[in-house]
């Protein structure tokens, strides 16, 4: 469940700048919204607004994002794709999500 700006800021207590730096981990699946696959633009805008409200309080924010909404490595061995190739495909999915999060 995603937080509203006020709840998120209170939760982190960044409004008083008591936290100088955070690392936010987002699952790639968080970008799905109600879609079965890919990236929901409304979710991107929402997340960008949430993150901006934290940054605007002066908190340094790092973001780690997954790629599970685009690619899942489970079951690759059965389809003949080796582990290294599967890992590389997952990394590309993560890059796609990072680029999408930069857009709003």
pLDDT tens figures, 49-95: 888 888 888 888 999 999 988 887 776 767 888 888 888 888 999 99
User: What gap in Å lies between CA 66 and CA 71, rounded to an integer?
Assistant: 10
For residue 62, what are the β-bridge partners? 23
Q: Looking at residues 5-33, what average pLDDT do you find?
A: 74
CATH of the domain at 23: 3.40.1160.10
Give the span between the Cα atoms of 88 and 102, in whole angstroms.
Answer: 21
| 17 Cβ contact partners less than 8 Å away, ≥ 6 residues apart | 57, 58, 59
Distances (CA, A) of 88 to 22, 29, 95: 27, 18, 11
Residue 4 vs residue 52, higher pLDDT: 52
Range of the domain at 12: 5-102
- What's the number of domains the chain is made of? 1
Residue 16 confidence class, pLDDT cut points 50, 70, 90: low
Q: Hey, what are 32's tokens?
A: 């799905």
pTM of the model as a whole: 0.72
């Amino acid at each position: 469940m995603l937080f509203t700006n006020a709840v998120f800021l209170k939760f982190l207590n960044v409004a008083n700048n008591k936290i100088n730096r955070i690392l936010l981990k987002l699952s790639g699946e968080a970008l799905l919204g109600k879609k079965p696959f890919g990236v929901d633009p409304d979710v991107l805008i929402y997340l960008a607004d949430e993150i901006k409200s934290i940054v605007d309080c002066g908190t340094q924010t790092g973001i780690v994002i997954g790629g599970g909404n685009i690619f899942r490595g489970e079951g690759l061995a059965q389809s003949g794709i080796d582990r290294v190739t599967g890992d590389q495909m997952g990394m590309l999915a993560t890059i796609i999500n990072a680029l999408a999060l930069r857009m709003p």
